[in-house]
Amino acid sequence: MTNRFTLWERISERLTKPVDPSGLAAFRFAFGLIGAVSATRFLYYGWVQELFIKPKFYFSYYGFEWVRVAPPSVMIALFAALIVVSLMVAFGLFFRAAAVLFFLGFSYVQLIDVTNYLNHYYLVSLISLLMALLPMNAAYSLDARLFRRVKRDHVPAAAVYLLRFQIGVVYTFAGLAKVNADWLLHGHPLELWLAARTGLPILGPLFAIPGMAVIMSWAGCLFDLTIAGWLSWSRSRPYAYAVVFAFHLVTSALFPIGMFPLIMTTAALIFFPPSWPRDLARKTATRLGYTAEADRSTAPAPLPSKKPQWLAPAFAVFCVYAAFQVLFPFRTHLYGGNVLWHEQGMRWSWRVMLREKNASVTYRVENLETGKVVEVPPRKYLTPRQERDFSTQPDMILQLGQKIAADYRLKLSTPVKVTAEVLVSLNGRRAALLIDPTVDLTQIQDSPWPANWINPMPAESPPDLTPVAMR
């Protein structure tokens, strides 16, 4: 009992240690601005129309089939509202309500159509949820100016640790996902992507060097697996952040991955000491000769004599949340096979840029009374973007197949059978059948359990793109 009590005392002391709130304020400001810029881009580039108004069919997430797209005017108003609440988050105005509204609005937008799924959208939802629970507005916020009870000189270190944990989870699981034969042994899909970029100035010739894709693949894996640790160590932190900045700068230049590099580069600042913005301001003021700000004390307040009442329940909730974040990405191993092929467990698992897949899908509808068969191309139902993204993912192929079946049952007033011929190429391999082309999709029910109607991945390695003369 003594040892357990001592361990809890140490944990509680570390979690309740008072720290400078300026680091959280900087994180809040940057996150809010990124949210505002992202929502503005959706309106400016017409992505709201392209993704939420133009489609005739939307793919739903398992368990969230009840989520429906709102009318066009509401969707446009929603993104305008996201800009407003993002700025409220940035400047800390009615912060907690703004963070909750941002979480609800942004998450709703992401749940409308599976084809819009991106790992960093999932991360944004998680961070906004965590921020709504933390004292992010304790300093350098309009709330702190308007409401005396909000302003604090110090906040519990637990708030910083929670955000560090979330960012560390993303990097670590992205690295674990890269521990596979395609990535480490064959350099795929990087070899495919770099082969298309050998004409770039400066970097292009480097991409043409034999084995460069494998070297870069290993570097990317090691970066993801270890960067959270390097950022956590004070001695290596400045150098690690420089690597983070360079890494995401290069990836953003080479690949169209949207806001992800900016989000991760900004989020990594949470690993710096909580007082880093104030320290930076002090150093800047000193150099400029403004000694009043430079001499300002930021010493932590004395430790509380008693553990706060919120600590134990909050720590229990955190343990549940942490267990989910750690265990849920591992669920793909319960399905067996290669997740890059069957896609079960691919989402919500931080598997970033691991596959290059090309596919073709043809549906066949059989009238069970007459035996007549007609082919139905997906483009009759989908936008070009949806058609490209859905064609490699079995659960989405199933959803559209069942929509086609419902339409033809109504049109023909007879029972129908729907099958699909889906040819998929993974990381440059020869195209193979993804699902059993004889299975009647009307008889399949989507579920989180292993799908026996998905074919095993072909037992072959990805192609070696190195010219024969250079091998």
Q: What is the pLDDT along the chain (471 residues), one digit of tens a residue?
A: 445 568 878 888 888 999 999 999 999 999 999 999 999 999 999 999 999 999 999 999 999 999 999 999 999 999 999 999 999 999 999 999 999 999 999 999 999 999 999 999 999 999 999 999 999 999 999 999 999 899 999 999 999 999 999 999 999 999 999 999 999 999 999 999 999 888 888 888 889 898 999 999 999 999 999 999 999 999 999 999 999 999 999 999 888 888 899 999 999 999 999 999 999 988 888 888 776 545 454 445 554 556 778 788 888 999 999 999 999 999 999 999 999 999 999 999 999 899 999 999 999 999 999 999 999 999 999 999 999 999 999 999 999 999 999 999 999 999 999 999 999 999 999 999 999 999 999 999 999 999 999 999 988 889 877 654 454
HSE value, Cβ hemisphere, 13 Å, CA-based, for 337: 18
Phi-psi region of 372 (alpha: psi -120 to 50; beta: other; left: phi over 0): beta
Cβ-count burial 224-241 (b if 16+ within 10 Å, e if not):
bbebbebbeeeeebeebb
CB 101 within 8 A of CB 85: yes
Task: State the number of CA atoms in the 13 A half-sphere of 26 facing the CB.
Answer: 21
Is the whole-model pTM more than 0.85?
A: yes
- Residue 468 has what pLDDT? 44
Strand extents, DSSP E, 80-236: 155-156
Q: Is the preceding omega at residue 189 within 30 degrees of 0, hence cis? A: yes
Model pLDDT, residue 466: 63
Structure tokens at 451: 């799908």
CA distance 268 to 242: 11
How many C-beta neighbours within 10 Å does residue 384 have? 9
Length of the chain: 471
* 371 exposure class (CB count in 10 Å sphere: 0-12, 13-18, 19+): exposed
**pLDDT on residue 467:** 54
CA separation for the pair 209, 193 (Å, rounded): 14
CA torsion sign for 402, 408, 411, 413 is negative
Query: What's the confidence (pLDDT) of residue 201?
Result: 86
With vertex at residue 114, the alpha carbon angle to CA 97 and CA 172, rounded to the nearest 5 degrees, is 75
Q: Identify the pLDDT of residue 300.
A: 53
Q: What pLDDT is stored for residue 5 in this prediction?
A: 62
Got the DSSP string for 313-346?
HHHHHHHHHHHHHHHGGGGGGGT-S-HHHH-TT-
Query: CB neighbours (10 Å) of residue 120?
Result: 21
Q: What is the pLDDT of residue 469?
A: 45
The per-residue pLDDT for 301 is 54
pLDDT of residue 3: 59
- Domain-wise residue ranges, the chain: 16-153, 156-272+304-342, 356-470
Residue partners of 116: CB distance under 8 A and separation at least 6? 51, 109, 110
